[in-house]
Amino acid sequence: MQYGFHFNGRRCTGCKTCVLACKDFHDLPSDIAFRQVYEYGGGTWRRADDGTVTQDTFAYHLSVACNHCGNAACVRVCPTGAMHKDERGLVRVDADRCIGCGYCALSCPYRAPKVDRVAGRSAKCDGCAERVAEGRQPICVEACPLRALDFGPIDELRAAWGTVADVPPLPAATATAPNLVVSPPRIFKDDPGRVRAEGRVQNAREIV
Amino acid sequence: MTGFSFAFDEITLVLFTTLAPSGAVAYLLMSLPVMLGRATGDAARRLNQLTCLPLVIAMVGLVASATHLGNPSNALYVFTGVGRSPLSTEVGCAVAFLALAGIYWLYSFAEHPRRGLQRGLLAAIDVAIVAFVVAVAFAYHVDTIITWSLPLVPASLVLNSLVGGPLIALVGFALARWPVSRAALCGLAAAAFVANTVVYVVLGAWLHPLANELATVGQLVPAYPAFAATFVLLSASGIALSWRAADGAQGRKAASSGQAMSAPAAEPLAVADAPAATPAEPLTVAAAPAAAPTEQGAATEQGDAPAANGLPGDLHCVVVRSIGALLALAGIFVMRFVFYMTHLTVGLGV
């Protein structure tokens, strides 16, 4: 059975509790994060002659971790087979096989795998596999105060929430077949063309 | 945001992709006289033993690449991915090349080596070299990395090796005192250099508009034309220097022997470079002197006479050709660095 994440773009406020809960739970250093929140926005504002200001800006947040892809680039390129999919379809690193070459990190379009230089191997979101094995949710899902994240069998998530998985700034889903469902933010649902044309990541310097 | 820090983090891979393919091609070129039966006796022995030069260059590159691994103790698992992972295939080809070349080099010290075995081994090594260079060229050809999966990217690395390889081989041939045709080797390097320059110009045009959600190639490599110009300057200087080195050596030898440079019987390098003496020679080695092949070693010994300045006849040639090869490798290094600067995936990878 393939597991995956659901992200509700209409609920997320960009508080980044998911990011910090993940870093805390996995005891990650400052330069490694398994989950990131992208602030995506665009548009302009202008001041009229009478001093009033009008704007057509938009912004939304997207919480992104490993999407445990069906055609995972990291699994394809890994020279040792350390990067593999487990029985739940979660992409995990076998520390006893990883050589820390970083090829997985180079090839992933979601910036999911990181190279832990101290440990000498790749590190990434494993869907909190041990918690899931105990019947619990991943820590990011449990921590989200808005309940914008969910986790479970991807077929059930798709039945409930649809099949959209490539809201900007995410790449086209055809690239790696992510096991992710996104409930698009309102602005994207209303005018996807404008979002794709004008939007850009606003917090690039935050991203690790 | 530029790609400099990323490329600097991967500096050992930059070094690897600069040295190893060029060293491998140099090995292939240096193996041809023995493999084709044109070098025998002492000349073959010298060539065999001097193949350690390109071999060491390739190994320095490989050792450098190994230093970027976080956990080399698991490296044997790499072989489980041969054919599936491009990186595993690359390592597999490298190990095949180095293992065969190492065995061959050790066997070159045998008192009575079997020529058939040597030639067979060299043929196998050359096949491994071709596979290795192609494998390195495609090692990062992954569809999610939009800047590295362009069709001309592998071509640029193969051409890099054809620029650097012949110039390293020229040094090896000079050390081995083998009368190589510098016109053929410098010509090969020059042709590859021209093609490589064209490839880099086209690649630059292809790369410039590429972007993902976090960066554009223009941001990652803000001075691509300057890098490409540096490559052109360094590589062209290297080829020119390597070309002129033979002239200098010949001139001194001619002066010391009091003979005209075109006297073929007494001057192997002049024989190698005289078009009339090698009208139909397609390889990088000169035609054997008119005498039996077993006399080649003796003929080349004459070319080793002390020059007018007291230096061994080939020393100046070796030094100048080495500088030429280093210049070309420096040019290649610059563009390999640029390659890593351009890393960009679809989506969010920078």
Written as one string, the DSSP assignment of A12-33 is -----HHHHHHHHHTT--TT--
| A47 lies in some domain | no
Using a CB-CB cut-off of 8 Å, the residues of chain B touching A119 are 70
Using a CB-CB cut-off of 8 Å, the residues of chain B touching A170 are 347-348
| A103 lies in some domain | no
Q: Where are the alpha helices (DSSP H) in B258-313?
A: 268-273, 296-302
Beta strand A91-93 with A180-183 is unpaired
Query: What is the token pair recorded at B164?
Result: 């650097």
Distance to chain B for A42, nearest Cα, Å: 13
Q: Which residues pair with B285 in a beta bridge?
A: B180
Using a CB-CB cut-off of 8 Å, the residues of chain A touching B344 are none
Instruction: Give the separation between CA A196 and CA A42, rounded to whole angstroms.
Output: 10
* CB within 8 Å: A110 and B349: yes
Using a CB-CB cut-off of 8 Å, the residues of chain A touching B88 are 79-80
* CB within 8 Å: B74 and A82: yes
* DSSP one-letter string for A151-166: EEEHHHHHHHH-S---
Using a CB-CB cut-off of 8 Å, the residues of chain A touching B72 are 99
Using a CB-CB cut-off of 8 Å, the residues of chain B touching A80 are 74, 77-78, 80-81, 88
pLDDT at B205 over 50: yes
Report DSSP state, residue B306.
Answer: -
- Please report, for the domain that includes residue A169, its CATH number: 3.30.70.20
Which chain A residue has the Cα nearest residue B65? A101
Selected residue of B9, B71, B143, B146 to mutate for chain A interface (largest A Cβ count, 10 A)? B71
| A86 lies in some domain | no
A193's CB contacts (< 8 A; 6+ apart) are: none
Using a CB-CB cut-off of 8 Å, the residues of chain A touching B12 are none
pLDDT at B72 over 70: yes
Amino acid letter for position B87: L
Q: Quick check: B253 and B307 in contact, CB under 8 A?
A: yes
Q: How large is the ipTM?
A: 0.93
B80-139: per-residue pLDDT in tens? Answer: 999 999 999 999 999 999 999 999 988 988 888 898 999 999 999 999 999 999 999 999
Q: Give this prediction's pTM.
A: 0.87
Provide residues of A within 8 Å CB-CB of chain B: 38, 64, 73, 76-82, 96-103, 106-111, 115-117, 119-121, 168-172, 175-176, 200-201, 204, 207
Q: How many CB atoms lie within 10 A of CB B225?
A: 11
* CB within 8 Å: A110 and B348: yes
Which chain A residue has the Cα nearest residue B148? A107
Q: What is the mean pLDDT of chain B?
A: 84
Indicate the number of domains in chain A: 1
Q: What is the pLDDT at residue B316?
A: 86
Query: Which mean pLDDT values do the consecutive 10-residue runs of chain A (208 residues) have?
Result: 97 97 96 96 95 96 98 97 96 96 96 94 96 96 98 97 96 97 96 95 93
Q: Which domain holds residue A144?
A: 3-41+59-69+127-206
Domain range list for chain B? 4-341
* CB within 8 Å: B68 and A102: yes
Share of chain B above pLDDT 90, in %: 71
B264-309: per-residue pLDDT in tens? Answer: 333 333 334 433 333 334 344 443 333 333 334 433 433 333 344 4
Which chain B residue has the Cα nearest residue A177? B144
Distance to chain A for B67, nearest Cα, Å: 10
Q: How far is CA B179 from the centre of its chain?
A: 19
Instruction: Give the separation between CA A192 and CA A168, rounded to whole angstroms.
Output: 9
B302-332: per-residue pLDDT in tens? Answer: 333 334 444 444 688 899 999 999 999 999 9
Q: What is the pLDDT at residue A200?
A: 95
Q: How far is CA B118 from the centre of its chain?
A: 22
Q: What is the pLDDT at residue B252?
A: 52
Selected residue of B62, B87, B90, B144 to mutate for chain A interface (largest A Cβ count, 10 A)? B144
Distance to chain A for B78, nearest Cα, Å: 4
Min mean pLDDT across A94-98, A115-119, B66-70, B251-255 is at: B251-255
Q: Which residues pair with A115 in a beta bridge?
A: A122
| A96 lies in some domain | no
**Between A and B, how many residue pairs show a Cβ–Cβ distance under 8 A?**
118
Average pLDDT over residues B58-71: 93
Which chain A residue has the Cα nearest residue B79? A80
Using a CB-CB cut-off of 8 Å, the residues of chain B touching A97 are 74, 77
Q: How many CB atoms lie within 10 A of CB B98?
A: 19
Q: What is the pLDDT at residue B250?
A: 54
Distance to chain B for A52, nearest Cα, Å: 33
| A190 lies in some domain | yes
Q: What is the pLDDT at residue B305?
A: 38
Q: Which residue among B69, B212, B346 sits closest to A100, beta carbon to beta carbon?
A: B69
3-state secondary structure B186-216: HHHHHHHHHHHHHHHHHHHHHHCCCECCCCE
* CB within 8 Å: A100 and B91: no
Min mean pLDDT across A55-64, A147-156, B39-48, B218-227 is at: B39-48
Per DSSP, chain A holds a count of helices (H) and strands (E) of: 8, 12
Q: Quick check: B283 and B32 in contact, CB under 8 A?
A: yes
